[in-house]
Structure 1
Amino acid sequence: MSSRSTKGGSLRSAKGAFALAAIAIALPMGYLNAQEVTRTINKNNIIAQADRRTPQERRNVTSEELADKFKALVGKRVTVRGRFLEKIGNNTFTIADEEFLGVEPILIVNLSGNPLDLPSNDIEVQATGVVRSFSLAEIAKRYNQQFDRATYAQYENDPVIIARSVAPAPEPEEITSNPSPYYNRRLAVPGNVQRVYSPNAFVLENNLLVLNPYPKQAARPRVTQGERVVATGVLDRLVIADIEREYGFTLDAGIRKQLEADYADRPVLIVDNVYPSAVDE
């Protein structure tokens, strides 16, 4: 069955979504989250409470939110994570949130310069880019792309993300149970922080070690135990001397000794960014 057969009601007939989008446009999204907008509508009150989320959390939306409110997000940079559904072309594919496979698939146009290289088709994908309403002629001209009209006509006016970054987004358990397919790949790994050694070293659930050579450059410089984050980087085997030399940083001697005893030659995610996750368990 085609992924498009799950489409159901069109976004264009979703009056509630349009009403929410109208409120979001009248009151800038940077100051309102979805819960606060709903509360405002229900109370017929246009006074909004301040959004306490960080800018990264405001941009990091779930694919269900994107499908429901994409008109309010057109032109904005977002990050979404969802299950890979179908390859459409050489640099296009669709995803849908794992918990909401009944919503419309989200079309991704991958302009990162790197093909999406998945170890298998049953893991999630993370994509970061600008939200557009898909117009075949406009997108083709604006981004110098070629689209087959017969293939892409069904996506006209649907949400599309023009992605400058795409990566497999496996769970920590998928990595630690079978790391081989993921070595030397760039990954975006969501997970709960299980233990914190220092700003440079922490452990995600299922005992996945994370090393952050430059924590001050991350969206989340210091993580806390129990926090849910997304860590982006490359998976390698833990050889601390080699990693310190390659990335130009030095771990505390005590932490170094403990990590070498507990994680030597096991998988380690060497990250360039860590930020709060918008997806709850």
Structure 2
Amino acid sequence: MRNRLSKNCVLNCELIRNGSFVQALWKTNGTIALALFAVVLPACTPSPGPKAGTTVSEVVNAPNADLIGKTVTVSGEVEKILGPKAFTIEGNRLFNDPEVLVVNATESPIVKDSLVRVTGTVRQFLRSQIESKFDLDLAQEFEVEFRGKPVLIATTVVLTPRPGEIAEEPNQFISKTVTVSGKVAKVISPNALTLDDKELVGGKELLVIGAIPAAGSIDEGKTVQVIGSVRKFVTAEIERDFDFDLQPDLEVEYEGKPVVIAQSSQTME
């Protein structure tokens, strides 16, 4: 098995070094090239699976040998959006975490000032390489700010806003898929509940409809995690699109407000 892995790694590296091969990929289909870089480059530097719970501070401050070439998962707040394929995230503001540059090879949607969870490979920032490989045009100021620092080449970017963020400023989340966690404030029906935001005092509750676990398995006060899409609550459209039979009082209270149409949900311990 080790010999097979070694041969694959050598082959992949040789392909990357072959300039004509890479140029042909970009000329035919840039999307395919991005996907191939995401798969091939990590193979040249064997690393374990994603290191869960890595902080932004650890990525930025750890010696290069510690994390360069490794796959990590970090969470933080989107600080700057540098374009559709690049942004920076900041960790825990309480401890004044630094920012890390993220190259969004997935082109997943992002929202400024919202929380995200990013999984990707840590690389050293070389502006020319990053710009050419990922079709970016970074301002000169970022050359100065990030030169020689780690950069995260993302393979997964997940929006993880708090319930109150969506409830208070829904427009930036409409039509986007989010992973949202919170305490159950109200169980309205077997397929509808609201989530409270313990981080936002006095914040609005967020309505969730859809893939709710069987009646009786979720109680008020329990914490649940929901994956779903955000849209405006329009009773007629939701009943038509999702074959739901909604309670009449939902229309009165939530019409025009944001709702998460759940694809999956689970109770958190």
Q: TM-score, normalised by structure 1?
A: 0.54
Q: Which residue of 1 aligns with 2:79?
A: 85
- Does residue 1:105 correspond to 2:99, yes or no? yes
Deviations 1:201-249 (A, max 9, x none): 2211132101234869xxxxx65543445544332222344224323x4
Q: Taking CA–CA contacts closer than 8 Å with sequence separation of 6 or more, which of the two structures ends up with the larger relative contact order?
A: 1
After TM superposition, the structure 1 stretch with the greater mean CA deviation from structure 2, 236-245 or 145-154, is: 145-154
Q: Is the 8 A contact 2:103 2:151 kept in 1?
A: no
In structure 2, distance between residues paired with 1:227 and 1:138: 49
Q: Which residue of 1 aligns with 2:152?
A: 160
Q: Which residue of 1 aligns with 2:35?
A: none
- Does residue 1:246 correspond to 2:241, yes or no? yes
Q: Which residue of 1 aligns with 2:230?
A: 235
- Does residue 1:133 correspond to 2:123, yes or no? yes
Q: Which has the larger radius of gyration?
A: 2
Q: Is the 8 A contact 2:68 2:150 kept in 1?
A: no
Name stretches of at least 5 consecutive residues in structure 1 with no aligned partner.
Answer: 1-27, 31-57, 217-221
Going from structure 1 to structure 2, the CA distance change for 1:134 and 1:199 (only over 3 Å counts) comes to farther
After TM superposition, the structure 1 stretch with the greater mean CA deviation from structure 2, 102-111 or 236-245, is: 236-245
SS across alignment from 2:97: coil
Q: CA deviation at 1:130?
A: 1.6
Name stretches of at least 5 consecutive residues in structure 2 with no aligned partner.
Answer: 1-47, 197-203
The code of the aligned residue for 1:136 comes to L
SS across alignment from 1:131: strand
Q: Which residue of 1 aligns with 2:163?
A: 172
In structure 1, distance between residues paired with 2:68 and 2:187: 35
Name the % identity.
22
Going from structure 1 to structure 2, the CA distance change for 1:173 and 1:87 (only over 3 Å counts) comes to closer
Q: Which residue of 2 aligns with 1:268?
A: 259
In structure 2, distance between residues paired with 1:142 and 1:94: 19
Q: 1:208 aligns with which of 206, 209, 212?
A: 206
| Count of residues in correspondence between the two structures | 209
Q: CA deviation at 1:92?
A: 1.1
Q: CA deviation at 1:96?
A: 0.7
Going from structure 1 to structure 2, the CA distance change for 1:139 and 1:125 (only over 3 Å counts) comes to farther
After TM superposition, the structure 1 stretch with the greater mean CA deviation from structure 2, 103-112 or 177-186, is: 177-186
In structure 2, distance between residues paired with 1:224 and 1:138: 53
In structure 1, distance between residues paired with 2:58 and 2:266: 19
